Structure 1
Amino acid sequence: ITRWVNADCMVDNELSYNQLWDKSVLVADLLLRKGVERGERVMIAYNFGLEFLPGIFGCMMIGVIPCSVYPPNPTPGKAKHSYDQFRKQIEDAGATYALTSSAFKRTIQTASIMARQRVKIKWLASDTIKPRKDLMFEPNPDTASGTDIAFIQYSSGSTGVPKGIMISHRALVHNITATSEATTITEDPRTLAVTWMPQYHDYALIVFFMVPIYTRYSPSVAFSPIDFIRSPMLWADVIEKFEGTMTAAPNFAYGLLARRMKQANRTFAQDTTLLCADMAAEPIAPSTIEAMKEIGIPEQAISTSYGLAESCVYVASCTHTQIK
C-alpha cells in the first residue's frame, strides 16, 4: 500500500495489505480487552510515519471512532501551546484512550512535563502488542453502516480554534472516489502518489493514505514534513527515484521547491513520470505556477484544487486548461 522514506531517500518502512490487516486486528483486539465500546472515541497521536494506519483501522474494525490529531510538541517554546490544544481536543472528543507508539509515548510525556500540564487519558502503545491466538476480535462486515462515523478529523485552525469534524463512511467513500478521479489516480499499474504532508492533516490522510487503501491500485511513498523543510529537493528526489505520477502540496511548498531547484541549476527530466502536481490548502499565486513550469513540471500536470475538512477534503479542482 505505502512506503516510508527517510532523509537519504531510502525506504525505512513499508506496509502491505496483509500487514495492515494483521496489525489493525491486534489494535482492535487490544481495545476490546480494555473495554472500549462501539461509538467511543480514541485519540490517534503518532509521530510521522506509518504506525498511525493500524491505529485508525483497528478502531474502525470494531466501530470505535478514531480521532486523528496533531500530537503534542515537546520543543521548547511550543510545548505549552501544543499540549493545551491537545488537551482541548481530548475534552472535545470525550476520549478515554489514546493510541501512539512506545517511543513517541515518551516524547509526549516529555511534552507534558515541559508544558506543566496533564490530561486524563490512558496511553496505549500499538507497536508493542504481541500476537496471540485467543483473539477477542472477530471480523464482522456489519460493523458499520454508511451513516456511521468513520473518524473525526480536526480542521487546521487557520481561521480559528481547530474543530472536530465527524466524517461518515458514506461521505468518505464518496470523497475518495471524487478525489481519485480528479487527481488522475487510475488503474494504471504505474500510478504512484508521493507526499511529505503530515498524515493527520486531511489533505494527506485521505488523498495519500485512504485513497490507495480503498482503490487498491494507487500505492504511495511518503516522508516526513520535517525532512522536506530541511531539504526541499528531497521531494523531487523521491518523485524521480520512485517514478511518482502524482503529488500535491500547498502553494508555499512548490515555491520553496522551485527556488531550491533553481539555485542548484536543476529541473525535472523531460521524460518525467509526473502526471499530476496538484496545489491546494492555501491561496495560489500565478507566479508559483510559472515557477513550477520553469523547473520542468509539465504544464498539463499542473492542477489547482479547493477543499476543506468539513467536506472530508476534496471539493473542486481545475486542470491546466482551466487555470487563468
Structure 2
Amino acid sequence: MSRFVDTMVATATSAEGRKRGMTTGEPHEPAHRTWAQVHEHATRIAGALGVDRGAAVAVLAGDPAEIAPAVQAAWLAGGSITMLHQPTARTDLAEWAADTLRVLAMVEARLVLLGAPFDALAGVLDQHGVAYRRIADLDGPPLTAPVPVGEGDTALLQLTSGSTAHPKAVRITHGNLWSNASAMRVAAKLDPEVDRMVSWLPLFHDMGMVGFLTVPMLFGIDLVKVTPADFLRGPTLWPDLISRYGGTITAAPNFAYAIAARRMANVDDGAYDLSRLRIALNGAEPIDPAAVRAFVDAGARFGMPAECVMCAYGMAETTLGVAFAPAFTGMAVDTVDPEALAAHHRAVPSTSPDARTFPLLGPPLPDLEVCVVDESGAVLGEREVGQLRVRGEAVTPGYLTVDGPVATRDATGWLATGDEGYLVDGQVVVCGRRKDVIIMGGRNIYPTDVERAAASVEGVRAGNAVAVRLDAGTRRERFAVVVESKHADDEEAVRDLSRKIITRVVDAVGLRPFAVVVLGPGSLPKTPSGKLRRSAAAALVP
C-alpha cells in the first residue's frame, strides 16, 4: 500500500485535519477550507471520475481551491497526476495546443481536468479531440476507500522545464513522493501545530506542487495559497500575506526575493510584521548572495530575522529536495579563489577581493546521498569540482519522453544531475549547469558570474541577463551576453549599456564577451516556469 495516500487520508480524517487547511482567493475573496473539507470534496470528485487504477490524469487549472481536491481525487482513484503548462496572454494557442497534445500522448493521459480560468480553452481541446471534464461539474457518490496502489506505482508525472516542443516528464512514484516529503519534514523541522505556509508558486512546477500543496496537505499544515499572477500584479502581496496570516514558511526562486527586496524598500516602516518567518527557502535557480542580503536588509525593518533564509538545492528528479541548509541559521557562503576554480577545478578558500562566493546549500536530505565525480566517473574528494550525483529512495526511476521511457539511474542507483559542484564539510555547493559552462583557454567560466555582472548595470532588467556559449565545443569557443532593457529602442542608450556591461563582465571573469545584445522586455526565451533558456538565447546573437 502507498504510505503517501494512507497518511494523506489519515491526516484529513483526523481532528487536526478538521482544524487546519488552506486559504485561497486572496486578496479579494479569501476563503478557508479545512483539509477535511478538501478531502470530502476529493472523494466526490473521485466518485465521478470513472478512471481505472494507474490512469494518467492531466490537470489544467489555475485556482488552487479547485486544484487541491482534483489532484487528491486522482490519487484516491489510483491514478497519477500531470500538471499541464499553462498558457499566458502572450501564448500562441495553436502552438500551445500542439505542445499539449505531445505531452498528453507522451504520458498516455486520456483525460484532462479543466478548471478556471482555463475552462475557456474547452473549444481548443474540442477542436483537437482531447477528452476533458470540468472540475466544477465533477460531483458523484463519494469514493468510500482509496483504490489500493503500491509504492512503485506512479503518483506524479512532473513536466521538466525544457522545451515544450520536446517534452520530458519525471516519473515520481508513491515511494519517491513519500520519501522526499518525509525527509523535507525532518530537515525543515515542520510542525503542523505552529507552522503556516504562504506561497504564490505555480502548481505546474515541482516547488509549488510538491512543496506548497502536497506537503501541507499530507501533513496537515495550514497553507495560504495564491497564484503567480497575483504575485506579479503586486509583489508586495507576498510579504503582506506573510504578515497578516503570521506565515512561518515560504519559498521562491532567487529572482522573486530580488523583486521583493526592491518593493519592500518603498514601503513605510511598520507596514508588515515578518517576525514569525522562520523559513524563507531560496531554490530552483542559482542563488545570488547579493540578492539574499538585499532581501534580508529590506525585511529587517519589519522584524524579519536574517536566520530565516534557507538556501536549498533540489530538482524534480528527486521529487523536489536534495539538500537543505540547516534550519534557522541563515545564509552561509564559501569564498574561493576564482583562478583555481576556473583552471584547476578546485574550490580553494580565499579572502581576496576578487574571490568567488557560493552559498552553502546544506547536507543531503535524509535517505539521500550526494557524491562528486570526474569525467571518468571516479569519485572526487572534498573541494574538488566535478559532476554532482545523487542516490536514494526519493530518486525517480526514469523519464517519460516522446521516444519512450528513459532510465535515470545507473547500475548502482546513482543519478547524474548535470550540475557542476563540490562538497565542503558535508554540505553541497553548486557552481552551475555543466552544459552551460563556457570553456575558454582551458578555463571554466560559469554563466551565472557573467549574468550577475551584467545584471548589476543600471538599465538591465533584474533577472533578465543571460550568458550564452558560442561555437561550443570548438577551440574558438566564445560567449555573448543577451539582456533585456526598457531602453532597447534607444541606440545611444544601448551603446552605453553595452560598454558598461562589457566593463563589468571583464572585471568579474577577466574575459571580454564576443557580443552584447540588448532586447526589449519580454524578448528572452524562457521555460513555462520562467527560467531563462540559455541555449535558445544563443539564436538571438547576430
TM-score range, shorter chain: 0.7 to 0.9
Which position in structure 1 is the counterpart of 2:40? 22
Alignment of 1:246 onto 2:264: no
Which position in structure 1 is the counterpart of 2:121? 108
Alignment of 1:195 onto 2:199: yes
Q: Which residue of 205, 213, 218 maps to 2:209?
A: 205
Alpha-carbon distance between aligned partners in 2 of 1:158 and 1:268, rounded to the nearest angstrom? 41
Identity %: 25
Question: Contact 1:183 / 1:278 at 8 angstroms: preserved in 2?
Answer: no
Matches within 5 A, 1:121-132: 121-132=130-141
What amino acid is aligned across from residue 121 of structure 1 in structure 2?
Answer: V
Which position in structure 2 is the counterpart of 1:154? 159
Q: Which residue of 68, 85, 98 maps to 2:99?
A: 85
Q: Secondary structure at the match of 1:150?
A: strand
Shift of 1:181: 2.4
Question: Contact 1:184 / 1:275 at 8 angstroms: preserved in 2?
Answer: no
Question: Contact 1:274 / 1:301 at 8 angstroms: preserved in 2?
Answer: yes
Q: Which residue of 271, 292, 303 maps to 2:310?
A: 303
Alignment of 1:219 onto 2:186: no
Which structure 1 segments of 5+ residues have no match? none
Q: Which residue of 292, 309, 315 maps to 2:322?
A: 315
Going by fraction, where is strand more abundant, 1 or 2?
Answer: 2
Once structures 1 and 2 are overlaid, which stretch shifts more, 293-302 or 267-276?
Answer: 267-276
What amino acid is aligned across from residue 233 of structure 2 in structure 1?
Answer: R
CA distance 1:95–1:266, shift in 2 (3 Å):
same
Which position in structure 1 is the counterpart of 2:427? none
Alignment of 1:145 onto 2:150: yes
String of CA shifts for 1:2-36, please: whole Å, max 9, x gaps.
1113234x51x33322222222122222222xxx2
Alignment of 1:182 onto 2:187: yes
Q: Secondary structure at the match of 1:259?
A: helix
Larger Rg: 2
Going by fraction, where is helix more abundant, 1 or 2?
Answer: 1
Alpha-carbon distance between aligned partners in 1 of 2:231 and 2:274, rounded to the nearest angstrom? 24
Which position in structure 1 is the counterpart of 2:169? 164
What amino acid is aligned across from residue 37 of structure 1 in structure 2?
Answer: D
What amino acid is aligned across from residue 247 of structure 1 in structure 2?
Answer: T
Alpha-carbon distance between aligned partners in 2 of 1:271 and 1:196, rounded to the nearest angstrom? 17
Alpha-carbon distance between aligned partners in 2 of 1:246 and 1:304, rounded to the nearest angstrom? 13
Q: Which residue of 246, 262, 265 maps to 2:265?
A: 262
String of CA shifts for 1:90-145, please: whole Å, max 9, x gaps.
111111111123x54542136x39xxx9433211012123454xx6x4314x6111
CA distance 1:94–1:159, shift in 2 (3 Å):
closer
Alignment of 1:280 onto 2:298: no
What amino acid is aligned across from residue 183 of structure 1 in structure 2?
Answer: A
RCO greater where, 1 or 2, for CA within 8 Å and sep 6 or more?
A: 1
Q: Which residue of 68, 87, 105 maps to 1:53?
A: 68
Alpha-carbon distance between aligned partners in 2 of 1:159 and 1:123, rounded to the nearest angstrom? 21
Shift of 1:248: 0.3
Normalised to the residue count of structure 2, the TM-score between the two structures is: 0.53
String of CA shifts for 1:176-208, please: whole Å, max 9, x gaps.
112222334224x22101000111211011111
Shift of 1:45: 1.1
Alpha-carbon distance between aligned partners in 2 of 1:250 and 1:85, rounded to the nearest angstrom? 25
Question: Contact 2:42 / 2:73 at 8 angstroms: preserved in 1?
Answer: yes
Shift of 1:42: 1.4
Alpha-carbon distance between aligned partners in 2 of 1:168 and 1:322, rounded to the nearest angstrom? 32
Q: Which residue of 282, 292, 295 maps to 1:289?
A: 292
Shift of 1:81: 3.4
Alpha-carbon distance between aligned partners in 1 of 2:239 and 2:53, rounded to the nearest angstrom? 43
Question: Contact 1:278 / 1:302 at 8 angstroms: preserved in 2?
Answer: yes
Question: Contact 1:71 / 1:86 at 8 angstroms: preserved in 2?
Answer: no
Alignment of 1:67 onto 2:82: yes
CA distance 1:156–1:48, shift in 2 (3 Å):
farther
Q: CA RMSD in A?
A: 2.4
Alpha-carbon distance between aligned partners in 1 of 2:238 and 2:330, rounded to the nearest angstrom? 25
CA distance 1:177–1:100, shift in 2 (3 Å):
same
Q: Secondary structure at the match of 1:157?
A: coil
Question: Contact 1:105 / 1:125 at 8 angstroms: preserved in 2?
Answer: no
What amino acid is aligned across from residue 81 of structure 2 in structure 1?
Answer: P
Alpha-carbon distance between aligned partners in 2 of 1:321 and 1:129, rounded to the nearest angstrom? 45
Shift of 1:160: 8.7
Alpha-carbon distance between aligned partners in 2 of 1:246 and 1:45, rounded to the nearest angstrom? 27
Shift of 1:41: 1.1
Shift of 1:53: 1.6
Aligned length: 307
Q: Secondary structure at the match of 2:109?
A: coil
Alpha-carbon distance between aligned partners in 2 of 1:71 and 1:286, rounded to the nearest angstrom? 31
Alpha-carbon distance between aligned partners in 1 of 2:270 and 2:285, rounded to the nearest angstrom? 25
Shift of 1:268: 7.4
Normalised to the residue count of structure 1, the TM-score between the two structures is: 0.86
What amino acid is aligned across from residue 151 of structure 1 in structure 2?
Answer: L
